Amino acid sequence: MRRVPLDKEGRHTVPEIIERPEQPYLFIPAAVSMQTIGQTIPELHGGLFGWFGAHGVQPAGAPFVKYDLIDMDRRLEIEIGLPVATPADGDERVQAGTLPGGKYARLLHVGHPSTLVDATRSLLDWAAEQGLEWDADGDRWGSRLEIYLDDPAEQPDMNKWETELAFRLAQ
């Protein structure tokens, strides 16, 4: 079992800046509210994994949510994605894209997905203290990722799940 060194509160790692390469991926887009996101993400992840299986496509990494638009009061535009080793074609439901490479601020969080709000706030606050700027235009983000590192079949205790937050910095 993977275990990351955590901050003094025992919730997540200290944020850091990393370099990520471009990454092709397939995704299902969705528009959700804060009230519906918790049920939508698992449903669409299941649909995406089912599509991969039906089309013989192998994931090349962990599933993620890419947040494209964050308007907490109205709606969020998200992509439920899985990386692939080489660019692949989608269809009318599953689309293809490429995550941009570049510098990302990131931290690893351990805990129930409902506690990601605190981890996100920690990453945003840390970046502000560092004087970092996001790859964002208002509420629209270039690449803001929640990467789910645990397989629920192997780790059913959601309080032990590890999630990587990786937000692209302005280049």
Q: Which amino acid is at 169?
A: L
Does one domain contain both 62 and 89?
A: yes
Six-digit token pair at 130? Answer: 């560092």
Query: What number of residues does the chain have?
Result: 171
DSSP state letters, 111-164: S-GGGHHHHHHHHHHHHHHHT--BSEETTEES-EEEEE-S-TTT---GGG-EEE
Indicate which CATH number applies to the domain containing 64.
Answer: 3.20.80.10
Q: Residue 28: name the closest of 17, 42, 10, 18 by CA.
A: 42
Rounded distance between C-alpha atoms, residue 121 and residue 33, angstroms: 19
Domain that holds residue 42: 23-97
The last residue of one of the domains, among 97, 120, 155, is 97
Q: Residue 67: name the closest of 141, 121, 163, 117 by CA.
A: 141
Per-residue pLDDT of the chain (171 residues; tens, 9 = 90+): 455 566 666 677 889 999 999 999 999 999 998 888 888 998 999 999 999 999 999 999 999 999 999 998 889 999 999 999 999 999 999 999 999 999 999 999 998 888 898 899 999 999 999 999 999 999 999 999 999 999 888 999 999 999 999 999 998
| Residue 96 confidence (pLDDT) | 97
* Number of compact structural domains in the chain: 2
| Residue 167 confidence (pLDDT) | 98
The last residue of one of the domains, among 80, 97, 114, is 97
